[in-house]
């Protein structure tokens, strides 16, 4: 990385941004993220960008000099929810103005990309709009917003935004915990007929291996033990390998796994058609790669899958799952499902239920189809009635929840490795996650946070497991 990534141009010489940070009074930044994990990552990078400009994060919008809504356009009525939130923030801005404090409101992310200047027409309290590929320009936009109105940055820039992002400080990393997200791939070329991602995030692009490895090393040196590699279609990763070729996601995972101190690697979100043989083998051979895979299928009916432009059939997905499980028998699967896609019949829906029964999932996300403006699905006839979608979603979620509970209860009595991440809900308790992404609570001392420990699972609640740290580790709780 280059450009703004370097806080110092040379020994003792501060950059312009660092000079501003030193001379300006400390300002407050509030960022609220909606939607996917990549938005969480983007929000953190925005905070990293603004730290050298003199901004410190706050958890209260009422205290902030700059408020950023980092938006998602995937779910139903996403834009309306954002405008509702903007109405509340307009009141905050007015109250602060009455006491002589200026507040800038920025709309970022995929709603910003999709709506652009329309946001200013509907909510005049907004100062700037910036899309997900342009947020590296946020410091400049905020400076311009002091004298300009209606600033919009939603072009897909020729330059890579990652070249302009500053690394987080060790203190920022430690505050965020022992698990971290790292974006490795953005955009999607699949053009599923229900999805806005190709229009809001653009075509598939992958970061070079060396940049990602360097970012992971920075995170691990500050205490991170687990990284989740992010991409809209992450298993289509094909980043430059430094030798004139492109690395696959499996090769990237192998490079990252060599980082001393890193315990776990995860990745999301995947497309079944890009689940390559070497990536399946990596789940068998790479100890750091966790046995948990989010592999969206969306539906079980071949007719609906074709209408969705998924480019795979139900039998293809089932066969792929069998291949993955042959390589890693203990792998836990998660998926996404959409019910009520235009033209979905009761028989089509039953095919989805049948696929769920055949595969078995440890967890899943399921939603009613909602038309997204500009996508092919929004123009299809035979839209399914809302009441039918609601009924089908309830039936599907009941089956998925039964499978989730069965998976969780099956671990009771076993010993699993848990990465402890934070204090628990009660004094003397710590919380972490199994390799299968289940939350675990156990009695233990805070010095176990950041460590992986064998834990006997003694009970399963509705949303988490309860365990007992193995005696060799529990002995650390006793002061010497």
pLDDT of res. 425: 87
302 and 314 Cβ atoms separated by less than 8 Å? yes
Task: Note whether 132 and 154 are within 8 A (CB).
Answer: no
Each residue's pLDDT expressed in tens, for the chain with a length of 480 residues: 333 222 222 323 334 444 444 444 579 999 999 878 888 998 999 999 999 999 999 999 999 999 999 988 876 677 778 889 999 999 999 999 999 999 999 999 888 888 888 899 889 999 999 988 888 889 999 999 999 888 998 887 656 777 778 788 888 889 899 999 999 999 899 999 999 888 888 889 999 999 999 999 999 999 999 999 999 999 999 999 999 999 999 999 999 999 999 999 999 999 999 999 999 999 999 999 999 999 999 999 999 999 999 999 999 999 999 999 999 999 999 999 999 999 999 999 999 999 999 999 999 999 999 888 788 988 898 999 999 999 999 999 999 999 999 999 999 999 999 999 999 988 999 999 999 999 999 999 999 999 999 999 999 999 999 999 987 654 444 333
Beta strands across the sheet bearing 264-268: 179-183, 226-230, 264-268
- Backbone torsion region of residue 270, taken as left when φ is above 0, otherwise alpha when ψ lies between -120 and 50, otherwise beta: beta
Rounded distance between C-alpha atoms, residue 112 and residue 131, angstroms = 5
CA distances for 19 relative to 52, 86, 163, angstroms = 9, 33, 21
Spatial CB neighbours of 137, under 8 Å, sequence gap ≥ 6: 130, 153
Q: CA 1, CA 212: separation in Å to the nearest integer?
A: 10
d(CA 348, CA 346): 5
Q: Are strands 429-433 and 415-423 parallel, antiparallel or unpaired?
A: antiparallel
Which one-letter DSSP state was computed for residue 159? S
Q: To which residue do tokens 């992310």 refer?
A: 109
**Token pair for 3:** 């450009």
* E strand or H helix at 10: strand 8-10
Degrees, nearest 5: CA angle 43-440-393: 70
pLDDT at position 167: 81
Q: Is the C-alpha dihedral spanning 181, 183, 185, 189 positive or negative?
A: positive
Tokens of 440: 């675990």
Residue 140 contacts residue 146 (beta carbons within 8 Å): no
Q: How far is CA 2 from CA 7, 143, 340, 403, in A?
A: 10, 22, 47, 47
What pLDDT is stored for residue 76 in this prediction?
63
Q: What is the DSSP string of 436-460?
A: TS-EEEEE--GGGTT-EEEEEEEEE
Nearest to 261 by CA among 215, 292, 219, 228: 219
pLDDT at 75: 67
Give the three-class secondary structure for 253: helix
pLDDT at 473: 55
Looking at residue 414, what is its pLDDT?
95
């Amino acid at each position: 990385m280059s450009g703004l990534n370097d806080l110092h141009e040379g020994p003792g010489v501060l950059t312009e941004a660092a000079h501003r940070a030193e001379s300006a009074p400390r300002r407050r930044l509030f960022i609220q993220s909606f939607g996917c994990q990549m938005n969480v990552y983007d929000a953190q990078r925005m905070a990293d960008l603004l730290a050298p400009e003199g901004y410190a994060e706050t958890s209260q919008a009422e205290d902030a000099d700059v408020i950023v809504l980092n938006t998602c356009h995937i779910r139903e009525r996403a834009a309306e929810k954002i405008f509702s939130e903007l109405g509340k923030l307009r009141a905050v801005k007015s109250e602060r103005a009455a006491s002589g404090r200026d507040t800038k409101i920025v709309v970022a992310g995929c709603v910003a990309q999709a709506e652009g200047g329309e946001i200013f027409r509907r909510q005049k309290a907004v100062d700037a709009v910036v899309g997900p590929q342009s947020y590296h320009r946020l410091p400049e936009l905020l400076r311009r917003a002091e004298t300009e109105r209606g600033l919009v940055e939603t072009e897909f820039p020729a330059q890579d935004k990652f070249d302009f992002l500053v690394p987080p400080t060790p203190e920022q990393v430690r505050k965020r915990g022992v698990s971290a997200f790292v974006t490795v791939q953005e955009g999607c070329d699949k053009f599923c007929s229900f999805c806005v991602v190709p229009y809001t995030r653009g075509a598939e692009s992958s970061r070079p291996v060396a940049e990602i490895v360097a970012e992971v090393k920075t995170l691990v040196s500050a205490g991170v033990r687990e990284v989740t590699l992010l991409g809209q279609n992450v298993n289509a990763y094909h980043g430059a390998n430094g030798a004139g070729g492109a690395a696959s996601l499996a090769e990237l995972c192998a490079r990252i796994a060599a980082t001393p101190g890193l315990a776990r690697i995860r990745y999301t979100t995947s497309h079944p058609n890009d689940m390559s043989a070497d990536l399946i083998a990596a789940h068998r051979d790479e100890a750091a790669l966790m046995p948990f895979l989010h592999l969206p299928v969306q539906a079980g009916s071949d007719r609906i899958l074709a209408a969705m432009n998924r480019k795979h059939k139900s039998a293809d997905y089932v066969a792929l799952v069998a291949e993955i499980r042959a390589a890693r028998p203990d792998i836990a699967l998660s998926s996404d499902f959409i019910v009520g896609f235009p033209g979905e019949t009761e028989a089509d829906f039953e095919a989805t239920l049948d696929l769920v029964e055949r595969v078995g999932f440890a967890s899943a996300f399921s939603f009613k189809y909602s038309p997204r403006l500009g996508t092919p699905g929004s123009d299809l006839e035979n839209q399914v009635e809302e009441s039918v979608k609601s009924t089908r979603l309830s039936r599907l979620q009941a089956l998925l929840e039964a499978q989730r509970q069965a998976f969780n209860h099956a671990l009771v009595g076993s010993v699993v490795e848990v990465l402890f991440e934070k204090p628990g809900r009660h004094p003397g308790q710590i919380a972490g996650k199994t390799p299968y992404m289940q939350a675990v609570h156990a009695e233990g001392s805070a010095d176990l946070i950041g460590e992986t420990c064998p834990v006997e699972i003694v009970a399963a609640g509705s949303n988490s497991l309860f365990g007992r740290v193995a005696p060799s580790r529990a002995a650390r709780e006793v002061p010497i």
